[in-house]
Amino acid sequence: MAIDPLTIDSLTIAHLPLPIAHCPFAIIFAQYYMKQFNVPITYRSRLISAIKNKRRSQDKLKKDFTPTFLDFGRLQIYLARHFGFCYGVENAIEISFRTIDENPGKRIFLLSEMIHNPVVNDDLKKRGVQFLMDTHGNLLIDFNTLTSDDIVIIPAFGTTLDVEKKLKSIGIKIEKYNTTCPFVEKVWNRAEAIAAKDYTIIIHGKPKHEETRATFSHSASNAPTVIVNDMDETIALSKYITGEKPLHLFYEEFKDKYSEGFNAEKDLQRIGVVNQTTMLASDTQAIADYLRQIILIKYNLTEENIEERFADTRDTLCYATYENQSAVYGLLNSDADLAIVVGGYNSSNTSHLVELCEEKLPTYFIDSADRILSKNKILHYDFHNKTELETDNFFPDKSAVKILITSGASCPDAVVEDVINKLLFYLEVNKTAEEKITEFA
């Protein structure tokens, strides 16, 4: 299949057949020629736009993951090379706000949170949009109250086949207002492709996350499917493959994580791994490698005939997840006092950025500048225990404080600029973030 680098974009790349969709050439050009979206100007930051444009022009192949250094004297910031809105998020925001503008007087519903960011979701609510379900799939509004005249927007995470069927039965045209990220759809397509070759699908994802629930639904319609949340669950699953555990225990240990009719005796003999697109790349790779080795040993296979039992499923992370995580690795090479990660508290991709930073230095996960309460106090989120913490004296007593900053793929750049300005204010630096724009002209 011929690829024209002057016309390919990231929507195209999401639907390219394997192995073309994963070749470096295609991915590079897909990102470089990315579509520009019309999202509310209030989500933009003049400074951060200038920085991103400058870095993009200097590094068109996106090989440089070193951070951008912002020297404000007493405050020194290392800003991640990649962060903020991705293709899927901007696409979802553009469709949502356009739908509101084009349908005055109509009832407009979001199936659940558009993306995992409180700023965007609150803005949509202020525009009159109502949420049908919470992030766990619990109904907030009875579907029976909907009519065929109503508009229902499918969020970027996608949704289950069951929900699609219910909405269609009411007469709601979901395909017209479907903002499912093409990189999520790509995972569904990958699962369908290996299901057609009689492999069972192993999904690396968070079972309660909207995207994983949607991926599970689509996958289970084509093949036996089971979800593993982490390496511990992967190791537990492997023991049913090897026979170390009696198969009847599988159904209790993986309750609510396997598809209807799953037969542990035969459905774990041929497997392939796909993932929730926002998981840690290293974790997904480790899980796939581990299960591959288990299959190799169990069936006495060689590298040449491994595909008899293990599908060739290369990483299904989206480009933004890969870039943002790689940028954090580059960020962590900087000598700093602390890290601040900005994003929605229920954002999976953001929590993984926090996880990476926590391994190196004190890290504070906040969803807005308002969480920085004073020079001596910050209110931040512990995603491990799902609680907010208040930390005193988080600024070190130094003449120059060095801070690493990044944000999740659903966080507006304007929120990151607000955080920078709040830091400047509390450190008594008589400057604003915008004063740095000229350095990136």
pTM: 0.86
- Residue 230 DSSP class: S
Six-digit token string for 164: 């699609």
What is the rounded CA–CA span in Å between residue 301 and residue 299? 5
> Which of the four pLDDT bands, split at 50, 70 and 90, describes residue 34?
low
What is the rounded CA–CA span in Å between residue 304 and residue 76? 52
What is the pLDDT, as a whole number, of residue 25? 36
pLDDT (tens digit per residue) in 276-289:
998 988 899 999 99
pLDDT (tens digit per residue) in 387-415:
999 999 999 989 999 999 999 999 999 99
- Nearest Cα to 209, choosing from 85, 116, 320? 116
Q: State the pairing for strand pair 108-110/130-131.
A: parallel
Cα torsion at 284, 289, 290, 291 (round to 10°)?
90
> Which of the four pLDDT bands, split at 50, 70 and 90, describes residue 237?
very high
pLDDT (tens digit per residue) in 135-164:
888 999 999 999 999 999 999 999 999 999
pLDDT (tens digit per residue) in 412-431:
999 999 999 999 999 999 88
Round the average pLDDT of the chain to a whole number and report it.
Answer: 90
Distance of CA 402 to the CA centre of its chain: 27
pLDDT of 39 strictly over 80: yes
Catalytic status, residue 252 = no
What percentage of the chain exceeds 70 in pLDDT?
91
- Residue 352 DSSP class: H
pLDDT (tens digit per residue) in 193-229:
999 999 999 999 999 999 999 999 999 999 999 999 9
Catalytic residue among 210, 211, 233, 417: 211
Give the strands of the sheet with 338-342, arranged side by side.
68-71, 75-79, 401-407, 338-342, 363-366
Six-digit token string for 20: 């073309």
- The structural domains of the chain, ordered by start, are 36-86+319-440 (3.40.1010.20), 87-177 (3.40.50.11270), 182-308 (3.40.1010.20)
What is the pLDDT, as a whole number, of residue 315? 62
What is the rounded CA–CA span in Å between residue 309 and residue 327? 35
What is the rounded CA–CA span in Å between residue 20 and residue 221? 26
- Nearest Cα to 55, choosing from 327, 280, 281, 350? 327
Q: What is the mean pLDDT of residues 103-112?
A: 94
